[in-house]
Amino acid sequence: MQAFTTLNGLVAPMDRANVDTDAIIPKQFLKSIKRTGYGPFLFDEWRYEDRGEPEMDCTNRPKRADFVLNQPRYQGAQILLARENFGCGSSREHAPWAILGYGFACVIAPSFADIFFNNCFKNGILPIVLDDAVVDRLFADCLANEGFSLEIDLQSQTIRTPSGQSISFEVDAFRKHCLLNGLDDIALTLAQADTIRQFENNRSHAAPWLS
């Protein structure tokens, strides 16, 4: 998992509440258990005029011109600004895989569905919870200023706006440690490889019949 330390990225506004995981990555893509390749299908039903299928070439698919991610000013965005209860619905981990695959490394919203929130951290995405009023102001600034970007510093837990305003955010200390060091669940386990190996050796000597 890639470490998250600082990010200076363009912001794309997703001005919809209760965006569920089926909207983020529709159910037909759950046929695949690969962790990569979902970026072109992020928000598939909102983004395209036809129905997407796994492994489909999206190069020439007809796009909906009014959808935010299809607008030229938001191309290359790395920060997704969203409304309350983002990521609700099913627990599919394909949702953060699609968000990360598109290029988003951070999602800012007033609230998230719990499982989606946890899955973001496990996949190297920083989900930031801010008050509604702060999110409203960020939406207004983003829509009013083309090229609106934010600088996010995880170590100091601050967001800096183009005007120089500093916004603080909360993050669990353990999750922060994992993101800063690029540690997913497998990496955390492998960090204890020597201890695990010693336990296995001790068990083999104490109870050889188990081996």
Task: Give the pTM.
Answer: 0.90
pLDDT (0 to 100) of residue 172: 97
Residue 190, Ramachandran bin (φ over 0: left; ψ between -120 and 50: alpha; else beta): alpha
- Mean pLDDT, rounded, for 70-81: 98
pLDDT (0 to 100) of residue 16: 97
Q: Which of 137, 130, 108, 123 minimizes the C-alpha distance to 11?
A: 108
Q: Which is more confident, 31 or 135?
A: 135
What tens digit of pLDDT does each residue of 124-152 get? 999 999 999 999 999 999 999 999 999 99
- Mean pLDDT, rounded, for 46-54: 96
Q: What is the CA radius of gyration of the chain?
A: 20
pLDDT (0 to 100) of residue 109: 98
Share of the chain above pLDDT 90, in %: 82
DSSP string, 185-202: HHHHHHTTHHHHHHHHHH
Kindly report the average pLDDT of the chain as a whole number. Answer: 94
pLDDT (0 to 100) of residue 34: 85
Do 188 and 178 meet the contact criterion of CB atoms below 8 Å apart? yes
Q: What whole-number distance in Å separates Cα of residue 106 and Cα of residue 101?
A: 12
What tens digit of pLDDT does each residue of 4-18 get? 999 999 999 999 999
- Mean pLDDT, rounded, for 21-36: 92
Tokens 């509440």 sit on residue: 17
Considering the segment(s) 6-184 as one domain, its CATH architecture is: Alpha-Beta Barrel (3.20)
Q: What whole-number distance in Å separates Cα of residue 15 and Cα of residue 127?
A: 16
Give the start-to-end residue ranges of the domains of the chain. Answer: 6-184
User: Would you place residue 36 in the very low, low, confident or very high pLDDT band (cuts 50, 70, 90)?
Assistant: very high
**Statement: residue 193 has pLDDT above 80:** no
Share of the chain above pLDDT 70, in %: 98
